[in-house]
């Protein structure tokens, strides 16, 4: 930040440009140096001399707060979403608002600033919740495409959901999940798919396919369900076909 110091029609910039100016009288130079070095004093009058300090400065205001995943801290932290605006200042006080200088997100712990896209990244807590929610959605979609009453498939589905992080998952919860329409559970698949690497997506889909294959070989309807689940996880059709083939081959060797 640079402040200008004016004396009558003479102008100096605090902090370095004093030597380029018309040389004022000795007493005025002393006053300028005091103001430039200490930024002290508002208006000083001596005879006809008037000192005014003005400049430009960016001020930020917080427009939102919450929790996000800070890459530098490596965990969930509180953030401030701030918008900045440049102001004309008079005696260090903002007087006239000028142009906007954009927004950023700042971690309140490490003070690191990020572009606002950082808020689109899921928090650790959201990721932990998304994994079991996605698995519940996937197993119920797959079970309904085959025989939802198959005891061996239901048992395998329950084990898959427990393994994804829901230790208390049981028959009653599975029955409730099976009543959910497919359109209602698709967001859970999209959310978990956005967080998984391609290898993790393939593992995730293979786990679901093995549920359908627990009783019988895959039916055509179950293949279509696997394709729909894979696409909702963010996989290409070729990737899904590859996972289905590898899972079937693996089951054939068992
Ligand atoms: Zn941080």
Domains and their CATH numbers in the chain: 2-120 (no CATH), 124-253 (1.10.3680.10)
181-187 contacts at long range (C-beta below 8 A, 24 or more positions apart): 182/141, 182/144, 182/228, 185/136, 185/137, 185/140, 185/141, 186/137, 186/232
Question: Ligand 1 centroid to 20 CA: how many Å?
Answer: 44
Question: Ligand 1 centroid to 80 CA: how many Å?
Answer: 11
The pLDDT-based confidence of 57 (bands split at 50, 70, 90) is very high
Question: Ligand 1 centroid to 231 CA: how many Å?
Answer: 34
Question: Ligand 1 centroid to 68 CA: how many Å?
Answer: 9
Rounded to an integer, what is the distance from CA 64 to the centroid of its chain? 14
Question: Ligand 1 centroid to 133 CA: how many Å?
Answer: 28
Question: Ligand 1 centroid to 103 CA: how many Å?
Answer: 17
182-236 confidence digits (pLDDT tens)? 788 888 888 888 888 888 889 889 999 999 888 888 899 999 999 999 999 999 9
Question: Ligand 1 centroid to 74 CA: how many Å?
Answer: 7
Within 8 A by CB and 6+ apart from 150, the residues are: 143, 214, 215
Average pLDDT, the chain: 81
Q: Residue 193: how many CB atoms within 10 A of its CB? A: 22
pLDDT at 114 over 70: yes
Question: Ligand 1 centroid to 227 CA: how many Å?
Answer: 39
Question: Ligand 1 centroid to 1 CA: how many Å?
Answer: 26
Question: Ligand 1 centroid to 73 CA: how many Å?
Answer: 4
pTM confidence score: 0.59
Q: Poorest-confidence range of 3-7, 107-111, 245-249?
A: 3-7
The pLDDT-based confidence of 253 (bands split at 50, 70, 90) is low
Q: Poorest-confidence range of 19-23, 60-64, 238-242?
A: 19-23
Looking from the CA of 239 toward its CB, the CA atoms found within 13 Å total: 19
Question: Ligand 1 centroid to 238 CA: how many Å?
Answer: 39
Which residues, by Cβ under 5 Å, contact ligand 1, an ion?
70, 72-73, 77, 107, 109-110
pLDDT at 3 over 50: no
Question: Ligand 1 centroid to 194 CA: how many Å?
Answer: 23
pLDDT at 5: 45
The pLDDT-based confidence of 148 (bands split at 50, 70, 90) is confident
Question: Ligand 1 centroid to 64 CA: how many Å?
Answer: 17
pLDDT at 47: 58
* Cα separation, 178 vs 55, whole angstroms: 66
3-state DSSP of the chain: CCEEEEECCEEEECCCCHHHCCCCCHHHHHHHHHHHHHCCCCCCEECCEEEEEEEEEEEEEEEEEEEEEECCCCEEEEEEEEEEEEEEEECCEEEEEEEEEEEEEEECCCCCEECHHHHHCCCHHHHHHHHHHHHHHHHHHHHHHCCCCCHHHHHHHHHHHHHCCCCCCCHHHHHHHHCCCHHHHHHHHHHHHHHCCHHHHHHHHHHHHHHHCCCCCCCHHHHHHHHHHHHHCCCCHHHHHHHHHHHHHHHHHC
pLDDT at 4: 46
Question: Ligand 1 centroid to 106 CA: how many Å?
Answer: 8
90-102 confidence digits (pLDDT tens)? 999 999 999 999 9
């Amino acid at each position: 930040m640079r402040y200008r110091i004016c004396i009558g029609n003479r102008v100096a910039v605090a902090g370095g440009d004093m030597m380029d100016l018309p040389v004022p009288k000795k007493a005025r130079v002393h006053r300028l140096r005091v103001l430039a070095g200490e930024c002290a004093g508002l208006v000083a009058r001596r005879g006809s001399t008037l000192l005014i300090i003005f400049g430009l400065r960016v001020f930020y205001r917080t427009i939102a707060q919450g929790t996000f995943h800070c890459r530098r801290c490596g965990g969930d932290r509180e953030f401030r979403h701030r918008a900045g605006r440049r102001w004309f200042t008079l005696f260090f006080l903002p007087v006239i608002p000028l142009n906007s200088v954009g927004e950023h997100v700042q971690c309140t712990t490490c003070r690191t600033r990020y572009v606002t896209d950082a808020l689109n990244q899921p928090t650790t807590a959201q990721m932990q919740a998304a994994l079991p929610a996605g698995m519940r959605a996937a197993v119920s979609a797959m079970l309904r495409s085959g025989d939802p009453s198959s005891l061996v498939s239901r048992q395998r589905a329950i084990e898959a959901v427990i393994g994804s992080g829901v230790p208390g998952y049981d028959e009653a919860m599975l029955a409730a999940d099976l009543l959910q329409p497919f359109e209602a559970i698709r967001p859970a698949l999209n959310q978990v798919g956005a967080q998984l690497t391609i290898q993790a997506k393939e593992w995730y889909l293979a786990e679901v396919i093995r549920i359908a294959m627990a009783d019988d070989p895959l039916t055509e309807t179950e293949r279509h369900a696997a394709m729909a689940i894979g696409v909702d996880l963010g996989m290409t059709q070729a990737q899904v076909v590859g996972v289905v083939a590898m899972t079937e081959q693996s089951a054939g060797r068992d």
